[in-house]
Chains A and B, each alone.
Chain A
Amino acid sequence: NAGVMQNPRHLVRRRGQEARLRCSPMKGHSHVYWYRQLPEEGLKFMVYLQKENIIDESGMPKERFSAEFPKEGPSILRIQQVVRGDSAAYFCASSPQLGAAEAFFGQGTRLTVV
Chain B
Amino acid sequence: GIQVEQSPPDLILQEGANSTLRCNFSDSVNNLQWFHQNPWGQLINLFYIPSGTKQNGRLSATTVATERYSLLYISSSQTTDSGVYFCAVGGRETSGSRLTFGEGTQLTVNP
Contact = CB atoms under 8 A, between A and B. Distances in A.
Interface of A: 1, 31, 33, 35, 41-45, 48, 55-56, 89, 91, 93, 95, 98-105, 107-108, 110
Nearest to B30: A100
A99 to B, nearest CB: 7
B42 interface: yes
The DSSP consensus for interface residues of chain A is strand
Contacts of B98: 33, 45, 48, 56
A105 B35 contact: yes
Given A35-B99, A103-B99, 11 more contacts: A42-B104, A56-B95, A93-B97, A95-B96, A99-B30, A100-B31, A100-B97, A102-B33, A103-B33, A104-B45, A108-B42
Contacts of A35: 99, 101
Interface core residue of B44, B101, B102, B103 (most chain A CB under 10 Å): B101
Interface core residue of B44, B48, B99 (most chain A CB under 10 Å): B99
Contact of A105 (B31, B43, B96): B43
Interface in B50-75: 50
